[in-house]
Structure formats: structure tokens, C-alpha cells
Structure 1
């Protein structure tokens, strides 16, 4: 009887301990940390505005060349290449994207996808395409700024209807 009681107590302690180690889905410790180390990643995932506020604050206290985030692209050989999102100005970088195209977590995810796995677009960046024939571009990034060639100049949705007479696949 004493053996069964101690086994039950030990099992209860393990269950409670493991429950304490696993954070709840909505808790701050359960959120993932983004690549910029921004603590507001959870708010960014839920609404996107906290990252914009955080980036606003960082850009107010730093110059236009301040790196807000790095986006990575795998290359066949060697370490991944990275591209930077800098504070920028109204004509390039994060400030340009925010003012001209809107910044939220969806824009961030689209940039990540285009740079990470997209195809070169002939405009000095990478694009993602609809999975159809003929191929239709849906999102574009353009790289190269006054601050550096591996910096994100702009990113935007490409709203182009399918061209009549396009080459059939």
C-alpha cells in the first residue's frame, strides 16, 4: 500500500512538473522569437501592429541604415545568403514599405517566402508565383539600396491580370 502511494505521488509530481514546463498556447513563453530578436513577435502574429510599433520605435532612435531584420535564402553550397531590411527612408527600406505598401505580419511572411524560396525576378530581387500555367507573378521583392546591395529596397503584391495570348504550357 505504501509502495502504491509513493508511485502515485511520483507520477503526480512528474505530471505537474511537465505541465509547468510546457507553456500554454497563449502565454508569452509559448510565442516564437522572430529573427530580429523582437520581443513583440506574439503581438505581430496576432495583429501585426506591435512589430510595426516596435520597428517605428527602433527607427526613431536609429538612423536609416539600422538593420531591423535579416531574411535568409538557402544556396546550393555554403552558408545561406542573407538580405537585410533597414529602417530606410520614404523611398526605400522598411519606412517605404510601410508607407507605400503597408506593413504587417502578412507582408513579413510574403517577404520571407519570396526571398527564402522564390525565383529571381529579373528586377534584382525574388518573386513568388501562382501555381498555374501560364506562370503569374503574385509577390515581388527588389533588392539594392543606397545603403547596400543586399538590402531590401521594396516589396509589394503584383496585381496583374493574366495576359491574353500568354504562352500556354
Structure 2
């Protein structure tokens, strides 16, 4: 009887591993960070064409924070690359801001990372939010924070 339980558990583990492999295609964003250690994947200007021919779960970029990484999937109008492109704009600058926020930003209490001014008080400049229907380490959105609203809520030094 214990052998049957082991086989069932083993089968469940194999099934889970196989299912997770299907969500991150081998041909999408590579596994190793680029030389600066921040982000890898499909070229910034090629993502539009790639997402037209792949599912919403297709990984187009990986952003690193040390050994941990966060994925940007094609997504939908409410999360991922398609959301960011439609609501906040997409170009190499946006990609760089996302990479910087994740790589060296501070946790923002919204499940992501943000960059801040070096002034006192610190004012949030750019925000990422992590966690989508496709995965907990996926980029939901990223955007420039409204400076006047951020300044009004900033703590005094």
C-alpha cells in the first residue's frame, strides 16, 4: 500500500512539472540573464509580432532581481505586455524602467518594485506590480507614477 501512495505522489509530481513546462515555452525568453544581469527575452521591438502569433501565456521577457526572475507574458488587455502597451506605452525606455525597478528598486507594498527620487522625502517615480492570473511571478503592469499624487502622500523627512 505505501508503494501505491508513492507512485501516486510521484505521478502527481511528474504531472505538475510537465504542466508547468507547458506554460513557459522553451523558445521564449532565455533562462540566463544578459551580461548586465537585468533582463532577457525577445527584442523589445519584436514583441508585438510575437504576441500576435502566440498565446497570452507566452513569455516574452524575463526581468531579474538577483537569482529570482519575473516574467512578462503577452497577456491580455488587463495584464501583461498587451496591457502595458495599450495603457502605458511600450518601447525600449519602458522596458529599461521595468528592468531597473525590478533589478534595484524597493519593494512597494503592491507586490512589486518601484524606483524613487533621491530627494527628501523620497517620491515614487515608477511602479511595477507583480502577480497575474497566469502566475504569481508575472508582471501585471508597470507605469510612471503621477508625481503630484506621490508627493502629497510622501512621508516627511
Does 2:60 correspond to 1:68? yes
TM-score with structure 1 length normalisation? 0.66
Does 2:143 correspond to 1:156? yes
TM-score with structure 2 length normalisation? 0.71
Query: Residue 35 of structure 1 corresponds to which residue in structure 2?
Result: 40
Distance 1:99 1:58 in 2: 16
Larger radius of gyration: 1
Distance 2:107 2:93 in 1: 21
Structure 2 alignment gaps of length 5 or more: 1-34
* CA deviations over 1:10-36 (Å, ceiling 9, x no partner): xxxxxxxxxxxxxxxxxxxxxx9x721
Q: Tell me the CA shift for residue 118 of structure 1.
A: 0.4
Query: Residue 146 of structure 1 corresponds to which residue in structure 2?
Result: 133
Query: Residue 102 of structure 2 corresponds to which residue in structure 1?
Result: 115
* CA deviations over 1:78-115 (Å, ceiling 9, x no partner): xx100000000000000000000000111000000000
Distance 1:158 1:115 in 2: 15
Structure 1 alignment gaps of length 5 or more: 1-31, 42-50, 75-79
Counterpart secondary structure, 2:102? helix
Aligned with 1:129 (options 116, 121, 131): 116
Distance 1:163 1:155 in 2: 21
Q: 1:152 to 1:167 in 2, by over 3 A?
A: closer
The runs of at least 4 consecutive aligned structure 1 residues that moved more than 6 Å come to none
Report the number of matched residues. 118
Query: Residue 17 of structure 2 corresponds to which residue in structure 1?
Result: none
Does 2:156 correspond to 1:168? yes
